[in-house]
Amino acid sequence: MNEKVPDFYNNKDLIFDEIWTLLSRGVVDRSEDFRLPVVIVNKGQISDGRIVVLRGAFKDRRVLRFHTDLRSSKIEALKENNNIYFLFYNKKRKIQVRAKGKATIHFKDKITDEAWKKTMIISRKCYLATNAPGSVSENPHPGYPEELEGKNPKIEDTEIGYENFCVVESKIKEMEWLYLASQGHRRAKINIDDNGSVNTEWLTP
């Protein structure tokens, strides 16, 4: 018996909204698969991927956001080449989304100020590391001071971490959507112009 298909199965005009519904859910729901996308950046001839936590999905601006350490290698790469790629997959809904955009790094501005105020202590701890992420270490350790292992500092003692905190906002220009279904897969490409207008076309899965 074929599974019941969702409304967007044969209606390309519903796909864009479905994608942003999942993205918005990923920002607030820890159980949503879209919360943890793979992000790919490029430096020279080398592509480099990692998982980040989705911290913002702004449909009106076509923008995705995540937080990171200013000293990280992905920031170094984005300063050289601000092309950025996201890969999302929701196992339950069997939906894959690839998103392509241009990244902007925010540091010590209104966006980072507001984001930092909302950042929990357990996350702020990560920005207290003396050395940059990826630095070679003689012994295994979490990066932040030993006295903080297994416990959280006072909120006022985390403020120094703001010096290493930045927000990456990515203006999405293109998306590819894939829906896996037993009766036949569906695939579509979404182009977003500079004014934010959306054009969706079917692709062969």
Look at 3-7, 103-107, 116-120, 133-137 and tell me which has the smallest mean pLDDT.
3-7
- Which residue in this structure is represented by tokens 């607030």? 28
For position 141, what pLDDT does the model report?
A: 80
pLDDT of residue 59: 97
* Mean pLDDT computed over 146-168: 90
Percent of the chain predicted with pLDDT > 70: 99
| CA dist., res. 189 & res. 12, Å (int) | 9
Per-residue pLDDT, 148: 79
E strand map for the chain: 38-43, 46-51, 56-58, 63-69, 83-90, 95-106, 165-179, 186-192, 198-203
pLDDT in tens, 137-154: 888 888 887 777 878 888
d(Cα 148, Cα 143) in Å, to the nearest integer?
A: 10
Q: What is the pLDDT of residue 2?
A: 62
Matching residue, tokens 């012994």: 139
pTM given for the model: 0.94
- What pLDDT is attached to residue 138? 86
- Distances in Å between the alpha carbon of 91 and those of 33, 34, 128, 144, 182? 7, 10, 35, 34, 14
Which residue, 32, 35, 85, is CA-closest to 57? Answer: 35
Q: Which one-letter amino acid corresponds to residue 101?
A: G
Mean pLDDT of 87-98: 97
Q: Is 203 left (phi over 0), alpha (psi -120 to 50) or beta?
A: beta
pLDDT confidence band for 43 (50 / 70 / 90): very high
CA atoms within 13 A on the CB side of 165: 25
Please tell me the chain's helix, strand, coil percentages from 3-state DSSP, rounded to the nearest 5: 30, 35, 35
